[in-house]
Amino acid sequence: MRVGVVGATGYAGSEVLRLCASHADLEVVVATGESNAGKRIADHVPALAAVYPSMVFDETNHVLTSDVDVVFLALPHGHSQKLVPQLVERRVSVVDLGADFRLKDKNEYHQWYGATHSAPELLSNSVYGLVERHRKELVGATLIAVPGCYPTASILALGPFLDAELIERHGIIVNALSGTSGAGRATSDRLHFSRLAGNAEAYGLLSHRHTPEIQQELDAELLFTPHLVATSRGMLVTAYGRVTDPSLTTESALTLLRSTYADDPFVVVVVDEPPTLKDPVGSNLCFVSARVDARTGWLIVMSSIDNLIKGAAGQAIQAWNVANARDETMGLPMTGVTP
């Protein structure tokens, strides 16, 4: 398959390039980066020099006239919707790592993103690309909305318990830690070394745009608070839900996780120790675990992912694999890096 990667100069886009290079059925023929057009990929991302020694970044619009089978879009919100209708009209498959086609309600998009969606007619055509929960719908999909990193970790942790009606659908608390690559490649005061080093900082209080995405997929109400921590990669989510079934124990909660994800190659259920932020780094894995506190009546669920792989580029390729009848694990790392 001939691949175009739009927004390839960002962290998620560069990760798509890296993973495509080891995928037997994906050949990148065009990579765009508006501010770096004409610059070699190898100069912008030296880590990719051996696999893209001479390819240069093109201007974004070049993808609209290129001979490609699939386009991976790694753009900030509001930008994908300008390109997707034209790609769909050309019958090019689209895998969107951005937020533009995740929410099904155009009014909710307007509420949380502060802009009117320019292609609302396509919202119903997109398939949410969280394979573990939408595998059947993804088969044959040609417009895939890749989940955000925080929703991925939160939904995989909480989903089995809400599906089984073991916790209440309101009053859920989600606290999350993320490495700085989740904030993107652009510089900001928050990402200056002197502020970031040795620091941890909450942001997006009450208004983070991943909130409606998590609520949509879980059909639940929650309070979501993300935190930026001084590491480049990794994400750790700890979520709390009020138990509705007094017979639920830590053992039965872990049994539910194991049975839910028994056939999912990228989900690892951790039993003895809770997952750490670093466990999945470098892989497309998601580590999950759970505890039940009988004293307070709360369920605690935890999950960790690499925010750039399972939280972005790896998930995009995993979803594309399923949509196109490839082995789900094709081209994706099954092991993290240690130390």
Q: Which structure tokens are listed for 43?
A: 């100069």
Q: Which structure tokens are listed for 136?
A: 């059947």
Q: Containing H/E element for 92?
A: none
Q: CB atoms < 10 A from the CB of 62, how many? A: 15
How far apart CA 145 and CA 156 sit, in angstroms, is: 17
How far apart CA 113 and CA 310 sit, in angstroms, is: 24
Q: CB atoms < 10 A from the CB of 309, how many? A: 30
3-class DSSP state of 292 = strand
How far apart CA 283 and CA 178 sit, in angstroms, is: 16
Any residues with CB less than 8 A from the CB of 259 and at least 6 apart, and which?
A: none
Q: CB atoms < 10 A from the CB of 319, how many? A: 25
Measuring CA to CA, how many Å separate 269 from each of 10, 162, 184, 338?
31, 17, 29, 19
Sign, Cα dihedral of 315, 116, 210, 7:
positive
Look-up of token digits 């040609």: 142
List the helix and strand counts (H, then E) for the chain.
Answer: 10, 13
Q: Which structure tokens are listed for 106?
A: 């155009």
Is there a catalytic annotation at residue 20?
A: no
How far apart CA 69 and CA 93 sit, in angstroms, is: 6
Catalytic pick from 149, 153, 316, 332? 149
Contact 299, 167 (CB under 8 A): yes
Residues assigned a catalytic role: 149
